[in-house]
A and B are shown apart, each in its own frame.
Chain A
Amino acid sequence: MAATTGTAPAVQPLDRQAMLKEAGATGLVIFALAFGLLGFRTLDVPGGIDIQYRFGDVAAAVVIGILGRIALILLREHRPLPVLLTTAPLAVVLLVMLLAKFLFGPETGAELMRFLPFESLVVMWAILIVIVVLALRAARSQTHIASEMTVEDRDARMDRIGAKVQRAARRLGPVLLGIAIIFPFLPFADRRLLDIGILVVTYIMLGWGLNIVVGLAGLLDLGYVAFYAVGAYSFALLATGLDVSFWVALPFAGLMAASAGVLLGFPVLRLRGDYLAIVTLGFGEMIRIILLNWYEFTNGPDGISGIPRPSFFGLAVFKRSVTEGHTFHEMFGLQFTPIHRIIFMFYLILALALVVNLFTMRIRKLPVGRAWEALREDETACRSLGINPRNTKLTAFGIGAMFAGFAGSFFATRQGFISPESFVFTESAVILAIVVLGGFGSQIGVVIAAVLLIGLPEFFRELQQYRMLAFGMAMVLIMLWRPAGLLAHREPTIRLFGKGAAKEAEP
């Protein structure tokens, strides 16, 4: 975070001593941070734990930290050339080493890999990305004598990008939807890809649902997964216990989740934002504990299995053969294949997600949607205008919970089995990360973020273990860089002069 000045940079003599001092301090802090937890690894051995040393890694971390700090100082002091000259070749070398196994075959690849400081490929890739970013920044300030941007400039620029993305989304939206609709019939869409597709769309739906609560109403809900769980369990219990069909149980599960939201929200929504956050965090955990321990009702940690699959709108079922009623493939004269059901599932979640999206776009232009946004901006002012803050927040909370409940029902019927394992805090965190990364209130942002955060790790297994680490870091970095969220841009819900006039007015 370099100092921000509006004027053109004047290159001043470099204070080497101060620079080394600063870099040394960074190295010292990194050493202290890394020494305990990175330097020693507790190993699980029979009968206790043992310890393993990784001082090499600590040294590598310290060196990288010092060099990185020096690079940042040089950039800050407008001396990009040395940074560029070191980082660019380094980036190339690192890239070649990482790709060696594709370029020169596996043996040479493995040989070269041994020179890398960290074992993990992901860490090395992360370091590569940092180096590339440094190189790009250096290259930029080498060619542009531009002054550094202020925070406001940056925010305005990101807002324009966000606006562009949203405008493009309006045109691209139908195209994307079209792709999503023909997706199951594309030649490469095998079962695995379809499953990933279903997962991604589920998270898109959850992201859109949470976006109502966090993005529009500005209420930080850290226990969103609790409503997802309530929906899933309501659905599962209804479907297995009372034999209620999917199409009846679905709205009921949504209703249950909404009631849970209202019940929790009623006492706590008048509290300040951070209290609400921790109460919802606690609530998410408590729901999980109750699900774990209430054996008679939830079957405890064993979960509920044998949840029936949805039928084709009650007309036919996705089975090879049935004793009564119709099967889907006979009805349409097709060959039986289990993929029919998967495709149906995909369309089902797509439809549910679209309902959430349409709902959100509509409600933003209604009084209650505007009141949510107004409450996010200034609750005191809202009260002075006669807006009931509690009820307004409750609707946001309840509606968000309802959509989570729908998604939960879908999850239950897709898996056929649910247990408390699926509803841990991590899930809430993932959904929140999607919303934050996408930008509060940005519908297309959620789609992009869900594809990146859910789709990619599904493809690249090694990324999985670093997933949450990266999510946490991304949340912090985005908030530091642009507190409104990466692609956040707010389109007015109503205009006096229409769109054309607005564009003219803009410089």
Chain B
Amino acid sequence: MSAETAIAEGATSPDLLGPIPGGGEAQLTVEHLTMRFGGLVAIDDVSFQAADARITAIIGPNGAGKTTVFNCLTGFYKPTVGRLALHHPKGEFLLERIEGFRTAQAAGVARTFQNIRLFPRMTVLENLIVAQHNKLMRASGYTVLGLFGLKRYREAEEKAVELARYWLDRTLLTKAADQEAGNLPYGDQRRLEVARAMCTEPVLLCLDEPAAGLNPRESQVLNELLLFIRDEHKMGILLIEHDMSVVMGISDHIVVLDYGRKISDGTPEQVRNDPAVIRAYLGEDEEDEPAGETAAGPESAAREGEERDA
């Protein structure tokens, strides 16, 4: 289904007119997403599209509502208003109607977390096997058949190990497979979380600050991994990131949020030169300085400033 037909089907937001920046077919269409907590409006009428087999970055200063968007997409929050349509090989899923674990189970949306959430006392391999839970559950006849050691289950488990092995090789973690996940170095844990998400065999991968806390070399390895997932697996990736070298280096399409509103949407080139983005990051409006800004904000904004000057 092309972007045009999706709009024709009843999209009302002018944001969604025209092709997706960075190209590709629309995989995720977010319309009028609004999330309120009591009186606080965390996201205010945000609409954007993310394309298949492209990397879409969501950026913005701290507190802009990026993680909240993720939480709405992945079933952790139920949005107050909004239509979140995911184009899935099995048909269209409206993510706002799916809650909790079903988002990952049925719609195939996988995610990672800002603060790494592995199963620290289980081994690396076990982390990846747990990710294939639903498939293995069916193979084990919902435990009953598995208890008697049926062949079908053993085969399914072997296949699961194969898939895990595949992603271990891709994330350079094969050697650590039998170690406790909690004992891995930080950078490895980040990659393991991506591998675990991929083991759920998702259609859309949502990464919440995957490069946070990585050194430049680890960051580079991660970039390559994400490009591999995009190019070889034709997987749409949604990415929240503060590290501008990652964002500008690998994204095809960038959505910028500030105070819960979308302030810019385009290719990296377009966003970099958008005055609204520069204002948000530098806080030109003296009275309206974003609260709780971290080092990443001004730094990246400064870099953007330089680039604009050049």
A interface with B by C-beta (< 8 Å): 359, 362-363, 366-368, 370-371, 373-374, 377-378, 380-389, 395, 490, 492-497, 501-502, 505
Contacts and interface: CB of A to CB of B under 8 A. Distances in A.
Interface string B124-166: 0110011101101100101100110100010001000100110
A388 B104 CA distance: 10
Nearest to B157: A494
Contacts of A501: 178
B101 A381 contact: no
A383 B75 contact: yes
Contacts of B147: 359, 362-363, 366
A502 B196 CA distance: 22
Contact of B101 (A366, A378, A387, A395): A387
A377 B137 contact: no
Nearest to A359: B147
B171 interface: no
- Categorize the interface residue count of chain B: 35 or more
Contacts of A384: 74, 101, 104, 110-113, 117, 197
Interface of B: 74-76, 100-106, 110-113, 117-123, 125-126, 129-131, 133-134, 136-137, 140, 142-143, 146-147, 149, 153, 157, 161, 164-165, 168, 174, 177-179, 196-197, 200
B200 A386 contact: yes
B146 to A, nearest CB: 4
Nearest to A381: B117
A492 B130 CA distance: 13
A389 B179 CA distance: 25
A367 B137 contact: yes
Contacts of A387: 101, 105, 130, 133-134
Given A383-B100, A386-B102, 11 more contacts: A366-B143, A377-B122, A384-B113, A384-B117, A385-B110, A385-B131, A385-B197, A386-B103, A386-B104, A387-B101, A496-B174
Give me the 10 closest cross-chain CB pairs, A-B, nearest first: A386-B105, A386-B104, A377-B119, A496-B177, A367-B136, A381-B117, A383-B101, A366-B146, A374-B130, A492-B123
Contacts of A386: 101-106, 133-134, 200
Contacts of B130: 367, 370-371, 374, 382, 385, 387
Given A366-B140, A387-B130, A496 B125 contact: yes
Nearest to B181: A377
B100 to A, nearest CB: 6
Nearest to B164: A496
Given A492-B126, A496-B177, A374 B165 contact: no
B75 A495 contact: no
B119 A383 contact: no
Contacts, number: 130
A431 to B, nearest CB: 24
A359 B147 CA distance: 8
Contacts of B76: 380, 383
Contacts of A374: 119, 122, 130, 133
A200 B74 CA distance: 49
A386 B129 CA distance: 13
Contacts of A377: 118-122
Given A384-B110, A386-B104, A496-B177, A368 B137 contact: yes
Nearest to B135: A367
B178 A385 contact: no
Nearest to B200: A385
A205 B136 CA distance: 29
Central interface residue in A380, A385, A388, A495, by most chain B CB within 10 Å: A385
24 contacts: A363-B143, A366-B143, A366-B146, A366-B147, A370-B122, A370-B130, A370-B133, A371-B133, A373-B122, A373-B126, A378-B118, A383-B75, A383-B101, A384-B111, A384-B113, A385-B101, A387-B134, A388-B105, A493-B126, A494-B129, A494-B157, A495-B123, A495-B125, A501-B178
Contacts of B165: 496
A402 to B, nearest CB: 13
